[in-house]
Structure 1
Amino acid sequence: MKKYWLIFGVILAISANSIISCSRQTVLPEKAIAVQLVANIDSFTDFIDKQLLPAIKKDGNEQQLQRLFLQTRLLYKKYEWAAEYFNPALTRLVNGAPVVEVEPGSRQVMEPEGLQVIEALLYPGYKKANKQELITRLERLSSTAGRYKDYFNNIDMLRGQVFDAAKLQVFRVITVGITAFDDPLSLNSLQEASVSLNSLKEVLGYYPHTDSLQISIDDAINYLNANTNFNTFNRAVFITAYANTITRSITRLEKKQNIPVIKYNRLLRQDAETLFDKDAFNADAYTPCEGCTTTPQKTALGKKLFFDPILSGSLTRSCASCHQPDKAFTDGLVKNTMLNSKRLLSRNTPGLINAALQPGLFYDLRSASLEAQAKDVMQNAQEMHGSMEISAAKLWKDKEYQELFAAAYPANGRTAIDTLEIMNALGSYIRSLVKLDSRFDKYMRGERAALTSAEINGFNLFMGKAKCGTCHYMPLFNGVLPPRFVRMETEVIGVPQAATGKTIDPDLGRYNIIPEPSLKYAFKTTTVRNTALTAPYMHNGVFSNLDQVVDFYNDGGGEGQGLLVDNQTLSSGKLNLTVKEKSALISFIKSLNDE
């Protein structure tokens, strides 16, 4: 009998262990990842408190302090994937851009904080005069980063979130990581990318059936470790041969294992396998209302409205008067003229191709949607001098328009046209102008013959030595910061009033909308796609060709060319591009023309 109970007890214990094991398999990965994240954060704050800060307080030499700082950044990269995904607001204080930021809605001014600000105190050289500020900022950084622990100790991560965050981190590595976006002075971005990918390998290793994915990550890490020169690193090879393989594998694993993903509206579709898929971006992401999504009927109506001067007060100017399809929806002029006048408008006409893929419109970002932009232009006395209400009444009297509006916006007992319908129809047409199918895109999708060797070299320069990719973010090549694509950036680059002049253009840009001193002369970072078709360039049309634009940036912008620009956000240091490199850069830019 005792033997029976002993055997029964053993069986019961085995059964219990099996149940616990199964239960652990269900909940353990995310819990284990959270524990690992807390450990990584502890390592980060401990290193600051016990290594970097004491070295500064003891007046360590420049080389020692820079070495310790680089190690600090590497420790941050171990948990960046989760910090950026789960708590981006806190992460802005840990590794945010070293410039003043202004929240568009609240207009709250946020001073720069974190690693990138600290980098500027240590590079290109350390001055002991900065010692106390460095100590204060590091103490604040350690305290701020410690707040992550409360967060990760108290949230329940979901598997879908982990996979989603991992894929976004790979996108972050290839869009801004390998460009030195967040370490422009130390240029340690390739090693940081290696550490970042290794952290993803560890995280995904908690899950079954990820062996081949981890091999792909290892291959990418090995390529990074074998090619450590920032200026000669072949980003085209790294992305096409390694990074794209990783993100495809993550996406397919999610589908194969039926991993539920929490859906939310964002510009980059969550099921995109790479950043270069034909349907990777959602043109309806920034629509202002649920009923504003694009339909073929709305697009057809919007196209007719776009070319009809009925929307202008004088009945002489249409949207297409300034945004001409055969000029990539620009007009080829330095500045167009005011309505019924020979006086020039204040700014150059921007293109509309891919305009839907940005959360801020106009050079000063004053409109948040294409609908608001359409209304602004229509009712602007200098541009179209129209009235939404008057136009709606005129359109209702036209039988053809009545039918088109009824098809686009079905409604029982319709007796008029709503002004929002006009704006939305125009917005829908512009959303139909999203085209991400250039030769560059084809190359990134695997068509190796789509680009020449000079164009590939130009891409590597764009993303590396020339530093274009730190403001014009791949793959949209505009100022919408990847991989979340929710914030549109402005820059102060010191555009001159005349091409060879030494006076900054007097247009204050974003400052006219938000009177924050740091925003004087700040303008939206426009897309580089199709720019070979949209000369002249800059908000004032000051440069007539791409050679002038490249020379301007090569010199370090306005400040580098001798203009007085005390708040320039573009580095004023010279890029030292050779004639051959400039040519390759322009060749690449031309490969971005959509076909």
Structure 2
Amino acid sequence: MKKNYFILEFILLAIIFSSASFKKDHEQNNYSVNYTKGLDEFSSKQQSLLNNISNSDFNSTVEKQKIREQINLVRNSLKHMDFWFRYLEPVSYKKINGPLPVEWETEVFEKFETPYRREGAGYTLASQYLDEDIILKDSVFNLIKSAVEASKAYSADSITVHLKTFDHFYLCNRLFLLNLAAIYTTGFECPETERIIPELRIMLINIYSTYLAFNESFKDKALTETYMSLYKEAITFVNKQSEDYEKFDHYTFIKDFINPLFAHNQNLIQHYKVVSKSYVDYSLSKNATSIFSKSLYKGQNAKGVFVRVNDEKVLAEIDKVGKLLFYDPILSGNNLRSCASCHKPDQYFTDTTTASSLQFDGKNFLPRNSPSLINAGYNHLIMTDGKHISLQDQTKAVITNSLELACDEKDILKKILSCSEYKIALKNLLKCTPQIPEISIEHVTSAITLYYSKFSKHDSPFDKAINENSALAHDAKQGFNVFMGKAQCATCHFAPQFNGVKPPYVGSEFEVLGVPKDTSFKQLSDDKGRYLVFQSKETLNAFRTGTIRNSEKTKPYMHNGVFTSLEQVIDFYDAGGGAGRGLTVTNQTLSSDSLHLSKEEKSNLLAFMKSLTEKVEFEKTPESLPKSKIKNLNNRKVRGEY
């Protein structure tokens, strides 16, 4: 009897565990079903669109309009799946909703391999193409067919396997929130501006259903009630906004809803110990709890060979050496020029006095404006043409460039080590670099980059308003809304650094603006830009998108310093760039149409840009430089002579 009792108990427990297991599998299917149902609906609408394109007459205005309307319906379905698509397979996404027909824009992996051609296709490009004067059915068909083929990747086991665990959800959600702050409301990939807000509403509601399905399936890893409540408030806020994207309150949307939601999601990523295996997360920090935190993402390693050093005392020693070297003309071939000759620390580490700095010969001028070194580390590629993959490479190139500091690499070390102060300090630091046991040029460049990079850690009034609820002037708020909306600035300058690095912050974008040689607008600048580094018709005259931060303090503007005021820059964009001013720029990525900005909108835009001026705490110039055993080196002056 006792034996039978244990058998019955065992069977009962088995049934209970089996039931619990079945229930768990069933609950997990709620989330999987949400994905599968959305994907099936999206695929079905795509195929229907493809069939209708085949049977349509594009000479008929009515039939062409029907295709446009059907594309919009497919875009609505895409807004449900965008949550997963962008994160789980970003390369395929470019063929579903790519912003450009061909991209050479770089990913973080260019640091290790040559960039490759990325074919863009899908709904953004199809919508834009329908606005052309002459439309070929085959061209429309192929843009959509590419999207249909790319969508098949998302039903593959390698993708759907992620739905069985919770980790990917929080990483998808993080990217979703970052995109809500940076691109979804700007028109970056929605050519019909009247659809931006309606699509946003559809997306927010669809993702809420995804949240509910996830919470049912992963109850022990669910989004909190606080998060869900705030998200519903965000939906209510958007629903009350005008459908006119020019009137959308981006500032309140991001400050009161998206940024706090991002903080909640980041805290849950840490709390649930979320694990990532995707390059999409390469640069992002799990610890940053604000989209506008300076630690949100990392584009560069400012420490260089000292990357393993975390001891504050040792870092202070490296910083001390780096500062002296930055001001020391010993790095130049004639001992008369220093880093500070072109990157003046009291001028936000640029040269505001001239369109471009003097060359080594002291007579001619460099072909490009000296960029500010502040926030340089928030780019994956360095220089306006993206020539260098690290801050240290860029520093070394400047030192050895015949037009800049013109010093031979062997001579650099010989001169530096002739100074006992440098020699002792660098020898002491060798213990920090077991991979490089002897003093090298890498130690020199790494000390310099560590020194100037510390000035990139400061906030602006805009950041304090977003992060700390401090007051921000009304005109700056309105200017931010103009920046994100009507002026279309945010389609190239992405939050939070307002440079060309967009979520997930693993690449640097390049744009063709049609920058003129001078303000007469009679000739395009003869600088080929990115083309000099990587030859392609798309890269001709393309330049890396720089940051808007500190622009108030870093004139002149553009790669050649052609504009001396922000007002000129705003007018240039308002007119449609070089093409809008009559220059022939066949590959201009900036729209050549006028933005029709009013005087007040320009004034507000300027106020916002000024609100991004960071409160940088500059240091005093060194009073003297290390003495050398080589007597003629002891005549050198702090900062150099020109």
TM-score by length of 1: 0.92
Question: CA contact under 8 A between 1:492 and 1:567: conserved in structure 2?
Answer: yes
Instruction: Choose 495-504 or 96-105, whichever is displaced more.
Output: 96-105
| Equivalent residue runs for 1:15-26 within 5 Å | 15-20=13-18, 22-23=20-21
Question: Cα 1:464–1:17, aligned 2, differ >3 Å: closer, same or farther?
Answer: farther
Name the CA distance, whole Å, in 2 between partners of 1:157 and 1:398. Answer: 62
Structure with more relative contact order (C-alpha pairs < 8 Å, separation 6 or more): 2
Name the CA distance, whole Å, in 1 between partners of 2:433 and 2:99. Answer: 52
Aligned residue in 2 for 1:223: 237
Aligned residue in 1 for 2:634: none
Question: CA contact under 8 A between 2:269 and 2:286: conserved in structure 1?
Answer: no
1:212 to 207, 220, 226: 226
1:320 to 340, 350, 357: 340
| Equivalent residue runs for 1:164-313 within 5 Å | 164-205=171-212, 206-207=214-215, 208=219, 209=222, 210-227=224-241, 228-259=243-274, 266-282=282-298, 284=300, 291=307, 295-313=315-333
2:589 to 538, 555, 569: 569
* CA-CA distance at 1:441 after TM superposition: 0.2
Between the aligned residues of both structures, percent identity stands at 29
Aligned residue in 1 for 2:153: 147
* CA-CA distance at 1:496 after TM superposition: 0.6
1:50 aligns with 2:48: yes
Question: Cα 1:159–1:289, aligned 2, differ >3 Å: closer, same or farther?
Answer: farther
Name the CA distance, whole Å, in 2 between partners of 1:382 and 1:396. Answer: 24
Question: CA contact under 8 A between 2:302 and 2:446: conserved in structure 1?
Answer: no
Question: Cα 1:429–1:184, aligned 2, differ >3 Å: closer, same or farther?
Answer: farther
* CA-CA distance at 1:440 after TM superposition: 0.5
Question: Cα 1:325–1:170, aligned 2, differ >3 Å: closer, same or farther?
Answer: same
SS of residue matched to 1:78: helix
Instruction: Choose 380-389 or 575-584, whichever is displaced more.
Output: 380-389
SS of residue matched to 2:559: coil
SS of residue matched to 1:179: coil
Instruction: Choose 30-39 or 387-396, whichever is displaced more.
Output: 30-39
Question: CA contact under 8 A between 2:538 and 2:587: conserved in structure 1?
Answer: yes
* CA-CA distance at 1:344 after TM superposition: 1.0
1:119 aligns with 2:117: no
Whichever residue aligns with residue 383 of structure 1, its letter is E
Question: Cα 1:284–1:55, aligned 2, differ >3 Å: closer, same or farther?
Answer: closer
Cα distance per residue 1:388-446 (max 9 Å; x no partner): 32211222232211232134332699995112111221222232221340000011114
Name the CA distance, whole Å, in 1 between partners of 2:423 and 2:164. Answer: 51
Cα distance per residue 1:102-124 (max 9 Å; x no partner): 255334333322222112123xx
Question: CA contact under 8 A between 1:455 and 1:588: conserved in structure 2?
Answer: yes
Name the CA distance, whole Å, in 1 between partners of 2:163 and 2:425. Answer: 50
Cα distance per residue 1:509-546 (max 9 Å; x no partner): 11111111121111110100001101111111111101
Aligned residue in 1 for 2:37: 39
Q: Cα RMSD between the aligned structures?
A: 2.8
1:510 to 530, 533, 537: 530
Whichever residue aligns with residue 540 of structure 1, its letter is N
In the alignment of these two chains, the number of paired residues is: 588
Name the CA distance, whole Å, in 1 between partners of 2:545 and 2:600. Answer: 26
* CA-CA distance at 1:279 after TM superposition: 3.5
Instruction: Choose 92-101 or 302-311, whichever is displaced more.
Output: 92-101
Question: Cα 1:118–1:293, aligned 2, differ >3 Å: closer, same or farther?
Answer: farther
Name the CA distance, whole Å, in 1 between partners of 2:578 and 2:433. Answer: 58
Instruction: Choose 515-524 or 55-64, whichever is displaced more.
Output: 55-64
Name the CA distance, whole Å, in 2 between partners of 1:182 and 1:492. Answer: 17
Name the CA distance, whole Å, in 2 between partners of 1:31 and 1:542. Answer: 59
1:381 aligns with 2:402: yes
Question: Cα 1:391–1:237, aligned 2, differ >3 Å: closer, same or farther?
Answer: same
* CA-CA distance at 1:37 after TM superposition: 2.4
Unaligned regions of 5+ residues in structure 1, if any? none
* CA-CA distance at 1:286 after TM superposition: 7.5
Question: Cα 1:53–1:556, aligned 2, differ >3 Å: closer, same or farther?
Answer: farther
Cα distance per residue 1:354-386 (max 9 Å; x no partner): 001111111100001001100110110010001
Question: CA contact under 8 A between 2:306 and 2:433: conserved in structure 1?
Answer: no
1:109 aligns with 2:129: no
Name the CA distance, whole Å, in 2 between partners of 1:286 and 1:76. Answer: 39
Question: CA contact under 8 A between 1:456 and 1:588: conserved in structure 2?
Answer: yes
Aligned residue in 1 for 2:623: none
1:429 aligns with 2:435: no
Question: Cα 1:378–1:128, aligned 2, differ >3 Å: closer, same or farther?
Answer: closer
* CA-CA distance at 1:199 after TM superposition: 3.9
Name the CA distance, whole Å, in 2 between partners of 1:299 and 1:189. Answer: 47
Question: Cα 1:22–1:257, aligned 2, differ >3 Å: closer, same or farther?
Answer: farther
* CA-CA distance at 1:203 after TM superposition: 3.2
Aligned residue in 1 for 2:463: 441
Instruction: Choose 470-479 or 195-204, whichever is displaced more.
Output: 195-204
Unaligned regions of 5+ residues in structure 2, if any? 616-642
* CA-CA distance at 1:165 after TM superposition: 1.6
1:350 aligns with 2:366: no
Question: CA contact under 8 A between 2:580 and 2:594: conserved in structure 1?
Answer: yes
Name the CA distance, whole Å, in 1 between partners of 2:228 and 2:11. Answer: 35
SS of residue matched to 1:79: helix
* CA-CA distance at 1:78 after TM superposition: 1.1
Question: Cα 1:405–1:14, aligned 2, differ >3 Å: closer, same or farther?
Answer: same
Whichever residue aligns with residue 168 of structure 2, its letter is Q
Whichever residue aligns with residue 175 of structure 2, its letter is L
Question: Cα 1:398–1:234, aligned 2, differ >3 Å: closer, same or farther?
Answer: same
Question: Cα 1:69–1:436, aligned 2, differ >3 Å: closer, same or farther?
Answer: farther
Question: Cα 1:51–1:320, aligned 2, differ >3 Å: closer, same or farther?
Answer: same
* CA-CA distance at 1:98 after TM superposition: 1.3
TM-score by length of 2: 0.85
Instruction: Choose 41-50 or 318-327, whichever is displaced more.
Output: 41-50
